[in-house]
């Protein structure tokens, strides 16, 4: 009889223990999410007269789920209208630079509850066929959002395409422009690596980087090679400055975003007049992947695609030295124009 009572008591304790653990896990999840459910502070000069009251993050989180269902066709347009959702033109654009970290920057900014990202590169301003479709076509490519949020898109080709600055100016002369850059030689090699991978996937041969970057006839840097030309940042920026003042640009250090993302993201929050919401909690280093991944809450984490962080081929050190010497005066001018000095050799 005593043995049966002990068994019964043990079973009861196991049930109570399970309930306690379950409750504890729920509270942990709840507390973790409450950190992101604090109200957003009013954002001066961006939200306008309406919506100056605090905006609940719970609604923003629900909206993200609602839009996901809408994209899958599970929510009607009437429901979206009832929730006061709209497709807005972007208030900020990541205009470049290719292989500078544009995707990482966009995904990290999307951690902020007041930011909504366009997932795909739309190529509206750099593609004549798309541009001919008109601004409403462009707007309809934007994600749904609350009026109090800001939409951001990124298309790295914008930075180097001649017609783009004027086209964006005609859409919004006060738009904020983000440029993420890496050390020019590293960026050029990364650019080459992506193209090389695409060639190898199609079983095609491709020249070595050294042969493309250095003109075999003159033994000087080949400025006709697109990967080199893209890394002359100041040449492209000067074209943009014909339309926009330097105050409307923010330079993101793409090399630092890899190793210390939070300080760079905090600078972008300030530039966009966003209340500080991205914290170290949202960023964790993935030892296996070798770079930072994103933590939206205790349940949902996200790492960038496996194609990010490709291993670069070995390049002749003398070529690297020649390229860095070539880029140096352009880098100095870039620092002078932007007011930001970066730790490039």
Query: Do 320 and 222 meet the contact criterion of CB atoms below 8 Å apart?
Result: no
Question: Would you give the distance in Å from CA 175 to the centre of its chain?
Answer: 17
Q: Would you say 50 is a known binding-site residue?
A: no
Q: Would you say 310 is a known binding-site residue?
A: yes
Classify 339 as helix, strand or coil: coil
Q: Would you say 182 is a known binding-site residue?
A: yes
Q: Would you say 58 is a known binding-site residue?
A: no
Query: Do 246 and 15 meet the contact criterion of CB atoms below 8 Å apart?
Result: no
d(CA 223, CA 231): 10
Classify each residue of 153-191 as buried b or exposed e, where b means 16 or more C-beta atoms within 10 Å of its C-beta.
Answer: bbbbbbbbbeebbebbeeeeeebbbbbbbbbbbbbbbbb
d(CA 103, CA 156): 9
User: Which residues are bridge partners to 152 per DSSP?
Assistant: 92, 117
Q: Reading across the β-sheet that carries 150-154, which strands appear in turn?
A: 115-117, 150-154, 92-96, 176-181, 249-253
User: Which residues are bridge partners to 181 per DSSP?
Assistant: 253
Q: Locate the DSSP E strands across 114-201.
A: 115-117, 144-145, 150-154, 176-181
Q: Select from 87, 97, 104 the least CA-distant residue to 234.
A: 97
Q: Would you say 309 is a known binding-site residue?
A: yes
Q: Would you say 292 is a known binding-site residue?
A: yes
Q: Would you say 254 is a known binding-site residue?
A: no
Furthest-apart CA atoms within the chain: distance in Å: 99
Query: Would you state the torsion angle of the CA atoms of residues 136, 137, 139, 143, taken in this order, to the nearest 10 degrees?
Result: 150
d(CA 231, CA 185): 7
Query: Do 250 and 177 meet the contact criterion of CB atoms below 8 Å apart?
Result: yes
Q: Would you say 150 is a known binding-site residue?
A: no
Q: Would you say 308 is a known binding-site residue?
A: yes
Residues belonging to the active site: 99
d(CA 95, CA 181): 11
d(CA 337, CA 202): 42
Q: Would you say 256 is a known binding-site residue?
A: no
Annotated binding site: 99-103, 182, 190, 292, 308-312
Q: What residue numbers does the annotated binding site for 3'-phosphoadenylyl sulfate cover?
A: 99-103, 182, 190, 292, 308-312
């Amino acid at each position: 009889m005593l043995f049966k009572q002990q068994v019964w008591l043990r079973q009861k304790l196991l049930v109570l223990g399970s309930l306690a653990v379950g409750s504890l896990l729920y509270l942990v999840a709840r507390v973790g999410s409450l950190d992101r459910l604090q109200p957003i502070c009013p954002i001066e000069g961006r939200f306008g007269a309406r919506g100056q009251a605090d905006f609940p993050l719970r609604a923003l989180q629900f909206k993200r789920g609602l839009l996901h269902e809408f994209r899958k066709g599970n929510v009607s347009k009437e429901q979206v209208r009832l929730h006061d959702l709209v497709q807005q033109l972007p208030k900020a654009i990541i205009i470049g630079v290719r292989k500078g970290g544009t995707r990482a920057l966009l995904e990290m900014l999307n951690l902020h509850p007041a930011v909504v990202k366009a997932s795909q590169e739309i190529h509206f301003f750099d593609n004549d066929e798309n541009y001919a479709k008109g601004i409403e076509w462009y707007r309809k490519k934007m994600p749904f959002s609350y009026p109090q949020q800001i939409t951001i898109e990124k298309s790295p080709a914008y930075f180097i395409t001649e017609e783009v600055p004027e086209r964006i100016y005609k859409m919004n002369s006060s738009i904020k422009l983000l440029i993420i850059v890496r050390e020019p030689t590293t960026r050029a090699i990364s650019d080459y690596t992506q193209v090389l991978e695409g060639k190898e996937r199609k079983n095609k041969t491709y020249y070595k980087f050294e042969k493309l970057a250095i003109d075999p006839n003159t033994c000087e840097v080949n400025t006709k090679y697109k990967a080199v030309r893209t890394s002359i940042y100041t040449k492209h920026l000067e074209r943009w400055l014909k339309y926009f003042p330097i105050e409307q640009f923010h330079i993101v250090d793409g090399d630092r975003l890899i190793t210390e993302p939070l300080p760079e993201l905090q600078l972008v929050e300030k530039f966009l007049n966003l209340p500080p919401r991205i914290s170290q909690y949202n960023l964790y280093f993935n030892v296996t992947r070798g770079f930072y991944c994103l933590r939206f809450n205790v349940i949902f984490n996200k790492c960038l695609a496996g194609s990010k962080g490709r291993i670069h081929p070995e390049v002749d050190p003398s070529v690297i030295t020649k390229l860095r010497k070539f880029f140096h005066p352009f880098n100095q001018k870039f620092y002078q124009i932007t007011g930001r000095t970066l730790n490039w050799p």
